Copies of this chain bind each other. A is one copy, B any other.
Amino acid sequence: MATAPEKPASTSQLDLVLTRTIDAPPALIWKAWTDPEHIKKWWTPAPWTTVECEMDLRPGGIFRTVMRSPEGQDFPGVGCFLELVENERIAWTNALEPGFRPATNDAASEQDLDCHSLIFTAIVTLEEQAGGTQYTARVLHKDEAGRKRHEEMGFHDGWGKCLDQLAALMARLKG
């Protein structure tokens, strides 16, 4: 059985990618990523907040968050982890529910312009780089329409702001 890190099949027309150098070692970012209390501090672009987070850190384990809008509306999201390689890689999807069950997200709900109904797999990789970390988030969509919709919803601004928040948290944790 192959044990080398899986290089995900990537088709640029279907993927969105965000990369950033963060001034903290992979182990510290891993900690911020895998502790629900830390996740709440950076996961959602302010003034939105993450008010709940549940993680079972194993393949098929639950990854559930509740995001709250500035108006106080809650947006729950649930999926499961696919791969966890400590300090290196985290993959999760909302195409599967916990325990790997196919999700009930259907085409109808995908037509909804609510970003929380968007189906994707995300693969975050952490690569050590001169004392810091090259952080890359690759988001895989099923088709070009999904990628386009996600992009138009402000993927780069939203996920980028979260990365700023993660970098700020790293600075506080190191300080």
Contact = CB atoms under 8 A, between A and B. Distances in A.
Copies of this protein, total: 2
Contacts of A47: none
A141 interface: yes
Interface in A1-46: 1-4, 6, 8-10, 14, 34
B9 A58 contact: no
Main SS of chain A's interface residues?
loop
Nearest to A140: B101
A123 interface: yes
Size range of the interface on A?
35 or more
B2 A102 contact: no
Given A56-B2, A60-B82, A140 B100 contact: yes
Interface stretch (A103-111, A129-137, A152-160): A103-111
B95 A121 contact: no
A60 to B, nearest CB: 5
Given A1-B84, A95-B95, A121-B96, A143 B59 contact: no
Interface of A: 1-4, 6, 8-10, 14, 34, 56-61, 82-84, 86, 91, 93, 95-104, 106-108, 119-121, 123, 140-143, 146
